Structure 1
Amino acid sequence: MPTGIQTTLGEQLQHLVDNKTKPLGALGRLEEIALRIGLIQGTTHPQLNRPYIVVFAGDHGIAATGLVNPYPQSVTAQMVLNFVTGGAAINVFCRQHHLGLAVVDAGINFDFETGLFPGKLISQKIGYGTRNYLETEAMSADELTRALEAGKQVVTDLYAGGTNCIGFGEMGIGNTSSAALIMSYITGIPVEDCVGRGTGVNDEQLQLKKETLRRVYDRYLPAVTAAGGDVRVILQCVGGFEIAMMTGAYLKAAELKMIILVDGFITTAALLLAKQLNPAVVDCCFFSHTSGEHGHVAMLDYLGARPLLSLGMRLGEGTGAAMAYPLLQSAVLFLREMASFESAGVSKAE
């Protein structure tokens, strides 16, 4: 590229990518990733600093009924204890890829001993789980506001500590049901087509889950329609504290121009909500994988997203984001460290 000519940052990045010692386009989507990260960070020398996975956990009132999930609600707290003691899949993958891990109590129906897990468990408890939305709205307007702000605060604190790359995960028995309802309200896809097996329901349980969520969907459809599909109304009616916190976290991370790794079905549902509030939030997002949870492919199609991996995973916890992080790291490192034709003294193709 001739010197002295004004070029855009995108053109500068593309020139750097094209002049590495390789055929044009030979690194495939890694080249696109490198360029996007450079544009998000506003530099030709992007870097990923102190990357973190944040797992938001909360309980759902509907889970206590047994209508939408085979596991008892108490599993949420049990799994969170597994996270903070290092025994879950997300812990393994974070250790492997040198990712920080924070677990947020957004609203678990359990009291953890204060100070028992310093730096590992962040208490932002809004309540002891949401209310059963078969009977009443899941949360109040005040609870929703507090949850959104708490999610933003968690991201702000990590950013202040030097983190510029973040992925979100979740834990909450019953939260695939909330995600399916959110997906249906926003995309217009029938709720039955959004519902999946979640934590391993059998065929009979799946049918009951679909019937239950159709009743819930119909119950709140007039309120959602009257509000023009307002995100706050959807979250109040059928959301979870962890989903609301993730929504706020997405908004703050995008505002701070952080690199965001989107995980699976539930975290993408939270992104659907965040996008309604600020469409530009997706500009900072990289979609980690296609979840094996029914409905996620349609969610990704709705967003026009191209996931990086397709491994049939549907665990949650942020595991897909942790698995995809090395691809972002490789993209940044080849841009920063790979020799150019000029610096390596390699002849270019005629």
Structure 2
Amino acid sequence: MNEPVLIRHAAQLMTGAAGNAMRHAAAAGTDIRVRDGLIQAIGHLTPAPGERVIDASGCVVYPGWVNTHHHLFQSLLKGIPAGIGVALTPWLAAVPVPYRQFFGSEHAMRIATRIGLVELLLSGCTTVADHQYHYYPNMPFDVSAVVFDEAEKLGMRFVLCRGGQTMARVSDKPAPPESAPESLDAIMASIERDVTRFHDPSPSSMRRVVSAITTPNWSCQPDELLALARQARSLGIRLHSHLNETFDYVKYFREVHGCSAMQFAEKYEWVGPDVWFAHMVHLSDDDIARCAATGTGTAHCPQSNARLGSGIARVPDMLKAGAPVSLAVDGAASNEAADMLSEAHACWL
């Protein structure tokens, strides 16, 4: 929507400014003029010809939330009894894996995506990074096109984090065909196609594509991880994945690779200002220092981490060190609320 808009008479503007700066800004006027999707002026403003006026009397206006890690297809998997009161590993076996077979249809994926996006909009979220890992060989529909289409219909800024796996994660239960791994060539070809079809690198872009293998340790081989990093940078896109959500990650990297998760990520070129990881609950002082030094970001998911008993991320220490931190709701199967306001409240606890 690019029509000129004037938002008038808001009770307050939540700008994020520290101290008295926000109160001083409100005294200078809370009217907001928007042209071509960008804020042009804030103050005591008079309507211009052809401008649509929105009366915000009694309302608080705040910037749209940016949700930096979600799994929208999980919006149909809330409250699965077998996934209540269990940790991440048994939860994965009880919820996402067996129920993936129901997302072999375009209709189910559309409905799940739409529900998740609407829930976010209701809490004022206008941008979402969807870590969509539901890809498998011979998939009968184009999931990337589906999720972008649903976001466009709602006017949301959408970042597709194209996940997937080349290795099947070990489980004590047989996985459905919809969980079958792909080849590295297939994943890389799909990412390149999605970049060609959907990725817009412009500053006001409504569509971005990110290379986002599901996990850097259990989803692919190290050499494949390196290939994905180099492909992403050649395409000019960012990198995203899960990391150190539970202590199992720490243990795995120590026992298998003889290093920390961040040392491993650095070795295979998965660090930098173009990289962010979800969760990052179990970090050492050295890990945090590496995040700060490289500009590697964290998507903090406090409610999901609490729901699964994963722990509490050291966010104050990250911020003090200068490491980038953002906020995210994670998938609705492990955070049924799935709204940014309650996530922010949980973050402050």
By percentage of residues, which structure has more helix?
1
What TM bracket, shorter-length normalisation?
Answer: 0.3 to 0.5
By percentage of residues, which structure has more strand?
2
Larger relative contact order (Cα-Cα within 8 Å, sequence gap ≥ 6): 1
